[in-house]
Amino acid sequence: MKMPSKKTLTDLATPFANVTADLGQHVAWLKSLRLKSLVQFNKQGLPSNKHEDWKYTSLWSLSQQEFTHKAEESDVSAEQCDQLALLNDNYRVVIIDGIFSAQLSQLDNLQDGLTINPLSTEEGLAKAQPDLGRQIDITKAGFNALNTLLMNEGFVITVDSGVQIEKTIEVIVINTGTTPNLATHLRNVIVMADNSQATVIEHYIGLTDNVSLTNVVTEAVLATNAELNHYKLQQESSNAFHIATLAAKQGSKSQWKTNNISLGAKLARNDVHSQLLGQQSHVVMDGLYLANNEQHIDNHTRIDHTVANTTSEELYKGVLDDKSHAVFNGKVIVHKDAQKTDANQQNQNLLISRGCEIDTKPEMEIYADDVKCAHGSTVGQINEDHLFFLRARGLDEVSARSLLTYAFAVDVLNRIPSEEIRQALSAVIEQRLPQGGV
Amino acid sequence: MLEIKNLHASVDGKEILRGINLTVNAGEVHAIMGPNGAGKSTLSNVLAGRDGYEITQGEVIYKDENLLDLEAEERAQRGVFLAFQYPVEIPGVSNIYLLKAALNAVRKHQGLDELDAIDFLTLVRSKLELVKMDEEFLHRGVNEGFSGGEKKRNEILQMALLEPSLAILDETDSGLDIDALRTVSEGVNALRSDDRSIVMITHYQRLLDYIVPDFVHVLSDGQIVKSGDKELAKELEKTGYSWVNEDA
């Protein structure tokens, strides 16, 4: 598949002119999907600020970049990879500069009923085919169309019926910076059969200050009574663009617990979407963003309660310092048949500096009449009474501020059932808050 | 230990303390009583170093230093302890973390090493007994979901651990039922010693039945208008505060 020339693309999309995606050129279903996406992408391009969902996030700086789509060879040692990993002794998928690394991945002796494949293999494509593209709508989002056009790598996980995966699966996506201005388009698919259970971490890391683009779409399918714990930790470089979609369809009694932690990137945008399609399905959609300097972090979330007796809990917290800018837009839609929906959505922000900015918009659209829904957002500063209390106990001001900021942030990890993961993520957050700022 | 000389303090341009003079020697327990609005809380906040008060005159000498030149944390590190009237709840900061951070801040100032985990826990457990608190409280957020009595006991726990030279108890009896008052008082009494001074600030005489002071002072309209021994408190209990202003 080859992208159109600059002339036929909208202005914002010009960095992607004439790019070729090699993967699956002879795979009929993929070719047809890419053609459909091309039509959509030609029509939509990438969203400008006139688009309601992109009102506070400008892609102008992205459009001014020139991106490379061919990665030069880079070298990451096994030792380095161990240090970067959040967890040890677990299954590990490693993607370096957009290319799967068999050498660094740890996929030996997979538990029965579990498959993990890179998308770039025959097996990966075959396992992904039934579900790939079905959790997202390429007619609604230009980046999803772009991702479908250019996806070249990613991971595909399937868990068979009734299987509980004991080890955590950590997917480590490293941008080494070896290739300046590298763009990678990743597509991940997680398929959970009925009564299955698994924990997956997506971990994005940048090793240098080089400009890069990660455009990733993760799709998850949860059949009846499936449980997926899913965490994302984004630590890309300070000049990175990180654009991510995370979308799941949930069958009855399924549980999706996701936590989305954004620490890095110059511009990060997450679109997280759950469709609760079966009764008694439940989603926990939590997230944290810590922004400093001139970082821009935008989280758009959406939960569709489509049938009766579904529940959702959402907590997004943010800490903003310097001249950073964050956007939170959370939509909960209770469709007309979704009686007895129980939905709670909160966004809480702590502002450290005078120069930072938050645009927060929690939204609920309710078309059913017998529901329990609550939502709200707060924007505040360090509580002076708390600060004085800690100082009156001997803590210096910097340590006291740092401790209070940490306490505010780490609260968002409370609903992670695994003690090991909670502690690992707490440590990452603590490292990020050394001096009372972020 | 503590010498307050002609202390004047204002909030937003309004003078609240109007010339306080008070000397507290090592080992003494002083009660400062007074009606609402007399300046009791202002006095304790000024001594502990809370922002927002303008000192217009006077000085406070504590162990040969002018306390007013020091930041709140520097006062704490030198052994000044304020037990808060309204202890704050800080979810996310565990009690044990706070206790450890506070103790280490004081030890660091004294040139001592940090306690290791085992020694620290042994020490904390011995102090928990003093205020009849369960170990489970250590792992909860600071005062998070604590009852009024539990919050005040937690303050005394912190005091017991930090072993201050000067403890200022701000309305420690407020919001306590009789049982809790007894427990808290027993904790404080156990901490009385020859090298520790205690200043109790209270509206009511009832606390003084449990923690018997050496001296009682009446604060009214920003000045100490009368001083005496514990009998003065009983007099106040009978007659109320109205006579104080008339006298003054």
Is A390 touching B (CB cutoff 8 A)?
Answer: yes
| Whether A389 and B90 lie within 8 Å, measured CB to CB | yes
Pairing mode of beta strands B197-202, B29-33:
parallel
Q: Please tell me whether residue B176 adopts helix, strand or coil conformation.
A: coil
What's the mean pLDDT when you consider all of chain B?
A: 92
Confidence band (pLDDT; 50, 70, 90) for B244?
Answer: low
CA distances from B166 to A19, A336, B210 (A): 73, 65, 19
Which of A350, A382, A387, A390 to substitute to test the interface with B, most B CBs within 10 Å?
A: A390
pLDDT by residue (tens digit) across A192-220? 999 999 999 999 999 999 999 999 999 99
Closest partner CB to B158 (pick from A388, A393, A403) = A393
What confidence score (pLDDT) does residue A436 get?
A: 47
Instruction: Give A-chain residues touching B162 at CB under 8 angstroms.
Output: 393-394
Distance from CA of B17 to the nearest CA of A (A): 21
Is A52 touching B (CB cutoff 8 A)?
Answer: no
Contact (CB, 8 A) for A334 and A373: yes
Burial group, residue A109, by CB count within 10 angstroms (0-12, 13-18, 19+): exposed
In the Cβ-directed half-sphere of A9, how many Cα atoms lie within 13 Å? 22
What confidence score (pLDDT) does residue A86 get?
A: 96
Contact (CB, 8 A) for A393 and B98: yes
Instruction: Give B-chain residues touching A403 at CB under 8 angstroms.
Output: 93, 97, 101
Is B162 touching A (CB cutoff 8 A)?
Answer: yes
Nearest residue on chain A to B105, alpha-carbon basis: A394
Closest partner CB to A395 (pick from B50, B101, B141) = B101
Paired tokens of A282: 């439940």
Homologous superfamily of domain range B2-247: P-loop containing nucleotide triphosphate hydrolases (3.40.50.300)
| Whether A390 and B98 lie within 8 Å, measured CB to CB | yes
What confidence score (pLDDT) does residue B238 get?
A: 81
Interatomic CA distance for residues A322 and A328, integer angstroms: 18
Nearest residue on chain B to A398, alpha-carbon basis: B73
Is A387 touching B (CB cutoff 8 A)?
Answer: no
pLDDT at B123 over 60: yes
Residue corresponding to tokens 């940048």? A206
Interatomic CA distance for residues B92 and B79, integer angstroms: 26
Q: Please tell me whether residue A126 adopts helix, strand or coil conformation.
A: helix
Nearest residue on chain B to A386, alpha-carbon basis: B88
| Mean pLDDT score, A163-188 | 97
What confidence score (pLDDT) does residue A434 get?
A: 57
Instruction: Give A-chain residues touching B82 at CB under 8 angstroms.
Output: 392
Q: Please tell me whether residue B131 adopts helix, strand or coil conformation.
A: coil
A56: CB partners within 8 A, 6+ apart? A49, A298, A325, A327, A359
Confidence band (pLDDT; 50, 70, 90) for B240?
Answer: confident
C-alpha dihedral (B40, B41, B47, B50), degrees to nearest 10: -160
Give domain limits for chain A.
6-278
pLDDT by residue (tens digit) across B42-85? 999 999 999 999 999 999 999 999 999 999 999 999 999 999 99
Nearest residue on chain B to A396, alpha-carbon basis: B73
pLDDT at A8 over 80: no
| Whether A399 and B88 lie within 8 Å, measured CB to CB | no
Which of A393, A405, A410, A413 to substitute to test the interface with B, most B CBs within 10 Å?
A: A393
User: In chain B, helix, strand, coil percent, each to 5?
Assistant: 40, 30, 30
pLDDT by residue (tens digit) across A335-347? 999 999 999 999 9
Cα angle at A217 between A212 and A223, to 5 degrees?
155
Question: Quick one: CA dihedral B156, B161, B162, B165, positive or negative?
Answer: positive
Nearest residue on chain B to A406, alpha-carbon basis: B92
pLDDT at B92 over 90: no
Nearest residue on chain A to B94, alpha-carbon basis: A407
| Whether A384 and B109 lie within 8 Å, measured CB to CB | no
* pLDDT above 90 as % of chain A: 89
pLDDT at B25 over 90: yes
| Mean pLDDT score, A403-426 | 94
| Whether A407 and B77 lie within 8 Å, measured CB to CB | no
pLDDT by residue (tens digit) across B162-217? 999 999 999 998 888 899 999 999 999 999 999 999 999 998 888 999 999 999 99
What confidence score (pLDDT) does residue A435 get?
A: 56
Amino acid at A246: L
What confidence score (pLDDT) does residue B248 get?
A: 43
| Whether A394 and B76 lie within 8 Å, measured CB to CB | yes
Distance from CA of B57 to the nearest CA of A (A): 23
pLDDT at B28 over 70: yes
Which of B90, B114, B157 to substitute to test the interface with A, most A CBs within 10 Å?
A: B90
What confidence score (pLDDT) does residue A215 get?
A: 97
Is B101 touching A (CB cutoff 8 A)?
Answer: yes
User: In chain A, helix, strand, coil percent, each to 5?
Assistant: 20, 40, 40
Contact (CB, 8 A) for A285 and A258: yes
Kind plus residue range of the DSSP H or E element containing B31: strand B29-33
Nearest residue on chain A to B95, alpha-carbon basis: A390
Q: Which 8-state DSSP code applies to residue A20?
A: B
Q: How many CB pairs under 8 A join A and B?
A: 71
Q: How many CB atoms lie within 10 A of CB A66?
A: 10
pLDDT by residue (tens digit) across A273-315? 999 999 999 999 999 999 999 999 999 999 999 999 999 999 9
What confidence score (pLDDT) does residue A4 get?
A: 84
Distance from CA of A429 to the nearest CA of B (A): 13
Is A392 touching B (CB cutoff 8 A)?
Answer: yes
For residue A152, is it left (φ>0), alpha (ψ between -120 and 50) or beta?
alpha
Which of B73, B88, B169 to substitute to test the interface with A, most A CBs within 10 Å?
A: B73
What confidence score (pLDDT) does residue A327 get?
A: 98
Whether complex ipTM tops 0.90: yes
Instruction: Give A-chain residues touching B81 at CB under 8 angstroms.
Output: 392
Cα angle at B85 between B82 and B86, to 5 degrees?
115
Query: How large is the angle between the packed helices A397-410 and A419-432, nearest 10 degrees?
Result: 140
| Mean pLDDT score, A119-139 | 95
What confidence score (pLDDT) does residue A235 get?
A: 97
What confidence score (pLDDT) does residue A2 get?
A: 81
Closest partner CB to B93 (pick from A385, A388, A403) = A403
| Whether A389 and B87 lie within 8 Å, measured CB to CB | yes
Residue corresponding to tokens 């928990």? B128
Instruction: Give A-chain residues touching B76 at CB under 8 angstroms.
Output: 391-394
| Whether A410 and B50 lie within 8 Å, measured CB to CB | no
Is B105 touching A (CB cutoff 8 A)?
Answer: yes
Give domain limits for chain B.
2-247
pLDDT by residue (tens digit) across A10-67? 778 889 988 988 898 899 999 999 999 999 998 888 999 999 999 999 999 999 999 9
| Whether A403 and B162 lie within 8 Å, measured CB to CB | no
What confidence score (pLDDT) does residue A121 get?
A: 96
Instruction: Give B-chain residues touching A382 at CB under 8 angstroms.
Output: none
What confidence score (pLDDT) does residue B21 get?
A: 96
Instruction: Give B-chain residues touching A394 at CB under 8 angstroms.
Output: 73, 76-77, 101-102, 105-106, 109, 162
Interatomic CA distance for residues A2 and A12, integer angstroms: 18
What confidence score (pLDDT) does residue A437 get?
A: 47
For residue A160, is it left (φ>0), alpha (ψ between -120 and 50) or beta?
beta
Which of A391, A411, A429 to substitute to test the interface with B, most B CBs within 10 Å?
A: A391
| Whether A389 and B71 lie within 8 Å, measured CB to CB | no
Confidence band (pLDDT; 50, 70, 90) for B245?
Answer: low
| Whether B162 and A396 lie within 8 Å, measured CB to CB | no
